[in-house]
Amino acid sequence: MRAAAIQLNSNEDKGRNLARAERLLRDAAADGADLAVLPEKFNVLGGPDDLRAGAEPVPGPTTEWAAALCRELDLWLVAGSIVERVEGDDKLRNTSVLVGPDGELHAAYRKIHLFDVEVGGTMYRESDAEAPGDEVVVADAGGLALGMAVCYDLRFPEVFRIMAVRGARAVSLPAAFTVPTGRAHWEILVRARAIENQVFMIAAGQIGRHPPDHESYGHSLIVDPWGAVLAEAPDDECFVAADLDFNSQEEIREKLPSLAHRRPGAYRWPQPAGATS
């Protein structure tokens, strides 16, 4: 299987963003991609007001756009993440969707971990506009067991181990990593999740400046189960692609069977510090 990670510089203009995503998806398909991953909030990226204005239901207009493109290009697509509006709820969801070559929506994953942090003097408060999901997802992408995560989830290894135990062979990671955290941690964390779980990581990032005053690191990556970087994007809107060698993955898992050596009976979650029984 050939996988592609699409790197975009999205903003609050949904039409512009979809046009740029379509151009790069067509290029990736022409390069032989069977599976492509778009970045986080690829259809609309901005401040809380921009997100609310651009939010839509799932399924909705953006998934319809993705479905038509997947049918035409015979492509499996992780439509990055979409800013989802949920009827009857004033909080949005950060939702990654898997669309198949049949044009059907095969899975949806809602980002579990919200980015409420201070980075380089800038405050990020995703919880002001968004609510977290509560379900780990492994989907069938044409015979490939594909785990689905989004951006900040990368810092929570439990999610990726659960995916691996459920049979994931690859994980999609739409992201919009900040520049300071990206420089320090992005490649290290993507490679670590690949090595720990002996999976392929397809990490598609946003690049450059976005409203209101944020900047994303880019450097989209495709990493193999040994932790080798198969492809890395330059500092521009583009796609990178690599062939996923599942025979090599099987060999790694047979020779270094760390997943098989797990001892779940010995793993007991500690109580939080200060908790009493």
Task: Give the active site residues.
Answer: 40, 111, 151
Residue 168 identity: A
Question: Cα separation of 108 and 263, whole Å?
Answer: 30
- CB burial of 125-141 (b: ≥16 within 10 Å; e: otherwise) equals ebeebbbebeebbbbeb
Report yes or no: 31 and 241 within 8 Å, Cβ to Cβ: yes
Report yes or no: 106 and 100 within 8 Å, Cβ to Cβ: yes
SS3 state at 12:
coil
- CB burial of 14-51 (b: ≥16 within 10 Å; e: otherwise) equals beebbebbeebbebbbeeebbbbbbbbbbbbbbbeebb
C-alpha distance from residue 10 to each of 20, 30, 49, 199, 258 (Å) = 9, 23, 15, 28, 39
Q: How many Cα atoms occupy the beta-carbon half-sphere of 180 within 13 Å?
A: 8
Name the nearest CA neighbour of 7 among 20, 19, 15: 20
Report yes or no: 244 and 76 within 8 Å, Cβ to Cβ: no
Alpha helices in the chain (DSSP H): 14-30, 48-54, 61-73, 157-165, 179-181, 187-197, 246-255
Overall size of the chain counted in residues: 277
Residue 20 identity: R
